[in-house]
Amino acid sequence: MPGRILVVAQQKGGSGKTTLAAHLAVAHAAMRRVAILDVDPQGSLGQWFERRERRLGEGATGLEMRTASGWGAKREARLLARDHDLVLIDMPPRSDLEARNVIEAADLVVVPVQPTPVDLWATEATLELVERGGPPAVMVVNRAPARPIGASVLAALDALPAPLAATQIVNRVAFGQTMGSGSTVVEAFPASKAAAEIRALALEVHGMLPETLARSAAR
C-alpha cells in the first residue's frame, strides 16, 4: 500500500509553515519512513535539510529529500509514496493553480495559522483552495503567544470550515535556533515543552490520516 501524503499549506507567508513541516517530518521519522518534498521556490526546507546533512552526514538524516515545481510535485509525491510511509510536502505561499494540483494528491492538509485577524483571513482563502482540491484539512494554531488566545479569535477559528487541532504550538525561541542547524526541538531539547507539543501534534495528525481511520473503523 502506498504511503500517505501530507501537505503543509498556508497562503500567507510568515506562518511558520516550513518550521512546522520540518518538525513534523522528524517527529514522524522516529516511527516510520518519511520523505520531504520542498515545492516552495524559496527553498527553505531544502536549506534546512542541507544543513542537516552537513551536521549528521549524508544518508544519516533519517529523511529522504526531494524538490519539485508545483506542476511536477504531484507526480514526485506519488513516486516517493511508493517507498515511504509518509511524504510531507512544504507548499509555497500565495499560489493557486499549482497548489491545487499538489493538494489533489494529498491525503490530509495541515494549515498552520497564527492567531491574528490577518492570518485568519489568509486561512479562509487557503481552506477554499483545499476544498477545491478535495482532501480533508486541519488547522493548527502555530506561533501562539504564551498567554491564552482570546475568545474572539477562537470563535473565528471555530467558524472556519475545517477542524482545529487540539494541540497548539507556542512561539518559542528554540524553534528558530534548531532550524538554523538543521535540527529540531525534538532532537535538541527532547524534554522541553516545545518538543512535547510537536510530538503531540504528530500523533494527532497521524490519527487523522486515512489508513489510521480505516483501521480504527475496522475494530
Output the pLDDT for position 15. 87
Output the pLDDT for position 217. 37
Which whole-number Å values give the CA distances from 129 to 14, 52, 55, 101, 157, in the listed order? 19, 32, 37, 10, 17
pLDDT band at 133 (very low <50, low <70, confident <90, very high): low
Output the pLDDT for position 69. 81
Output the pLDDT for position 25. 98
pLDDT band at 215 (very low <50, low <70, confident <90, very high): very low
For 15-25, what is each residue's pLDDT tens digit? 899 999 999 99
**Minimum mean pLDDT among 13-27, 50-64, 123-137, 156-170: which range?**
123-137
Q: Percent of the chain beyond pLDDT 70?
A: 93
Q: What is the mean pLDDT of the chain?
A: 89
> Is residue 45 predicted with pLDDT exceeding 50?
yes
Q: Is 102 helix (H, G, I), strand (E, B) or coil?
A: helix
Give the C-alpha separation, 145 to 207, whole Å.
Answer: 26
For 78-125, what is each residue's pLDDT tens digit? 999 999 999 999 988 766 666 778 888 899 999 999 988 888 888 988
Q: Let me know how long the chain is.
A: 219
> Where in the sequence is the domain holding 131, given as residue range(s)?
4-218
Count of domains forming the chain: 1
Output the pLDDT for position 31. 87
Q: Is 3 helix (H, G, I), strand (E, B) or coil?
A: coil
pTM, entire model: 0.92
For 48-77, what is each residue's pLDDT tens digit? 999 999 999 999 999 999 999 867 889 999
- Overall average pLDDT of the 127-143 stretch: 88
Higher-pLDDT residue of 205, 102: 205
Q: Domain of 123: which CATH number?
A: 3.40.50.300
pLDDT band at 5 (very low <50, low <70, confident <90, very high): very high
Long-range contacts of 115-119 (CB under 8 A, 24+ apart): 115/141, 115/144, 115/145, 115/149, 115/150, 115/153, 115/157, 116/153, 117/153, 117/156, 118/12, 119/12, 119/15
